[in-house]
Amino acid sequence: MISFVETILGTVLSSFVIVIISSFMALMVDFLFPSFAKWTRMLLILLVITVVLQPAFEHLTLIRDIAHSISMMFISIYPILTASMIASGGAFGLLNFQPAMLLFANGAIVLTERVLIPLLTAALIFDLASRILPSVPFSKMSDLIRTTLLGAVSAVVATYSIFITAGGTMSWALSGLASEPIKELIKQNVPLIGSFMTESLGTIGRYSSGATIFAGGWLITSIWTIALVPSIKTLLTAFFYRWTAALIEPFAQEDITGILDDIGKTLFVLCAVSFLIAFAFIYTALFSIILVKLITTMK
Amino acid sequence: MRLKDGIFLSGIMLITLLSSTILLLFSEETEDIFLPIVKLAMGIWIIQSIFILFGHSLL
């Protein structure tokens, strides 16, 4: 766990240290050569963009690559899954699974890869353009893209929960006194996507608590961990952007903190998008496990 | 030319970078004269891109 945090710290923090030092240097240059202020601002913005955009784009490509490989995996695995569903016959009717859900999961992944992540990149570029040239702003456009994406992702997750509850066999075991404070904590402290996170985690939990009977708690936990690592990584990076913005706000120029804040916001939405991938992965993994378990025990 | 090729976004980025560089070179008074031209360029680029995206292929 410590080394996991350290890898994130290593790549992200080094670029943020550069941002902090360079904004301080710009302060000094402004003090020494006041007539040079316009150039200092522009050079500082260009420097910050080149340094700071790299982790953000790394995460965008990371999530896009994961989406691509998972959609390829689904294409190869679904014929086998469907065939074994037919082969298992009556044993499978017990669980009341929805085969259409598999198609839906793959559709969500393709949507992520083809539409959501390019749109997020567009939002990032609009933000940068409006910061570089404040007289030609695109802030409304990027805000609109972000809120629309968040709406689309929440709609997809809500449809997942409809699918799962329509199945009828899954029950929600985690919602007790224990998880309520944690949910409230997440909802209050993660900006923009906090309530979305608790809702979607609740939906996945509702599904996997039904599957625990078949698969066992540790297996479920490991699947959850594998599926949620990219999301957590993205979330931590987004927080680093906002923390850096908060740290340098007193002495840096408004443009720099604005850029950091905007990139942080976009990464929060990216985290929400990565939940879609995690969702599809968890669903398919549990589905395969239960299928194998059923086939082996019913024989 | 389609949106997914990224030409629209690179055009916007290019206009932004070019005009901000030119604005750096000019003095404060010429900036006021030059800014409407930048807005004009951006408007032409956006409207043209919209026409290409949603218009007829021969347009």
Average pLDDT over residues A109-113: 85
Residue A288 pLDDT class (50, 70, 90 cuts): confident
- DSSP state letter for A35: G
Number of domains in chain A: 1
Q: Which of A55-69, A150-164, B39-53 has the lowest mean pLDDT?
A: A150-164
Residue A183 inside a domain? The answer is: yes
- Of the candidates A244, A279, A224, A253, which has an alpha carbon nearest to the alpha carbon of residue A55? A244
Number of domains in chain B: 1
Range of the domain at B33: 5-58
Whole-number pLDDT of residue A109? 85
Q: Tokens 């893209």 identify what position? A: A145
Residue A64 inside a domain? The answer is: yes
Residues of A in contact with B12 (CB under 8 A): 125-126, 129, 138
Residue A59 inside a domain? The answer is: yes
Give pTM, 2 decimals: 0.81
Q: Which one of B9, B21, B42 has the shortest CB-CB distance to A136?
A: B42
Would residue A110 be called left, alpha or beta, if left means φ above 0 and alpha means ψ between -120 and 50 degrees?
alpha
Which of the two residues, A166 and A241, has the higher pLDDT score?
A: A241
- Answer whether B16 touches A (CB < 8 Å): yes
Whole-number pLDDT of residue A175? 46
Q: Share the mean pLDDT of chain A.
A: 78
In chain A, how many H helices and how many E strands? 11, 0
- Answer whether B17 touches A (CB < 8 Å): yes
In this structure, the number of other CB atoms found within 10 A of the CB of residue A264 comes to 22
- Answer whether A259 touches B (CB < 8 Å): no
Q: Tokens 């994961």 identify what position? A: A66
pLDDT higher than 70, residue A45: yes
In this structure, the number of other CB atoms found within 10 A of the CB of residue A225 comes to 10
Residue A43 inside a domain? The answer is: no
Q: Tokens 């903190």 identify what position? A: A257
Range of the domain at A268: 54-298
Q: Is the ipTM of this complex over 0.90?
A: no
Q: What is the DSSP string of A136-151?
A: S--HHHHHHHHHHHHH
Residue A21 inside a domain? The answer is: no
Whole-number pLDDT of residue A169? 43
Tens-digit pLDDT profile for residues A17-27: 888 888 888 88
